[in-house]
Amino acid sequence: MRLLKIISILLASLFVLGACSKEEQSNVIKVAVSPAIPPMLFEKDGKYTGVDLEIFEGYCKSRGCTFKMTAYDWLGMLGAVTSGQADVAFSGISITDKRKEVIDFSKPYFTSTWDLISLQNRNIKIADLSQLQKYTIAYPTGSVFDDYVKDVLQPKGYYSLDRVKLYPSPTEALIALQNGNVDLVFVDSVMLQSYQKSLNLPVSSSYQVVGFDNLGFAFKKGSKLRDDFNLYLSELGPEKLKAIINQWTK
């Protein structure tokens, strides 16, 4: 129950106005988020916080802009950008070829690995991927893990896509893990670190996917905002960007 109570903190859906200049701007940047992706974007003490927000606040401060965040589930967040309801989305979004067909991504700002996590008291350790057949895997609908299961695990007979349990957000997948409805949940490695260190959740890695996962800010197609944001990332430089990320992930 302690895990359930801690996770419930992540469930709030709020509208948050971020002001990045001294004067009110007439054109407000519309931001879509899914605030259950620590340490990239999550809620703490009733406010949104995290790596992505700090980066975007820095951008707006440098440009004298104002932005307004609206919370969605994962698919809703991406849909808000593709439909033009939002100008940009950020919450630890993986850059994929399929998504690039309908979204313009910024330059990658972070590279992550993935973990299959389980409850510590289950002590599940995957030494061979053929062991996955014994377990139920979950992750959010529309996440990049779909491609991994479909393109890597399924062709080798390790796991089929139709066996995956899908949830609207990582929070709900974690609740399912706590309730014993699933055995394993796919997360980014930085999310696992945050769950363990910041939220003290009793979860551990059962298997880590060796490889890389590039994260980016998602903009609607043809966005000039994307081009200017890329310019800001260049202005920020790799060392300052690394310093921002390290303070959330170390």
Contact by Cβ (8 Å): 149, 164: yes
Radius of gyration of the chain (CA): 18
pTM, entire model: 0.78
Q: Which residues of 200-237 are buried (b: 16+ CB within 10 A; e: fewer)?
A: ebebbbbbebeeebebbbbbbeebebbeebbebbeebe
Question: Average pLDDT, whole number, for the chain?
Answer: 89
Token pair 């009793």: residue: 202
CATH class of 112-212: alpha beta
Question: In this predicted model, what pLDDT tens digit does every residue of 75-132 receive, in sequence order?
Answer: 999 999 999 999 999 999 999 999 999 999 999 999 889 999 999 999 999 999 999 9
Per-residue pLDDT of 43-62, as tens digits, reads 999 999 999 999 999 999 99
Q: Give the H or E element holding residue 185.
A: strand 184-188
DSSP letter string, 70-106: EE--HHHHHHHHHTTS-SEEEEEEEP-HHHHTTEEE-
Residues of the chain with CATH 3.40.190.10: 8-110+215-249, 112-212
Beta bridge partners of 135: none
> Among 188, 141, 184, 132, which residue's Cα sits nearest to residue 160?
132
Q: What pLDDT is recorded for position 1?
A: 55
Q: What is the mean pLDDT of the segment spanning 132-147?
A: 94
Class of domain 8-110+215-249: alpha beta
The per-residue pLDDT for range 142-162, each reduced to its tens digit, is: 899 999 999 999 999 999 999
Query: What is the C-alpha separation between 18 and 110, in angstroms, rounded?
Result: 23
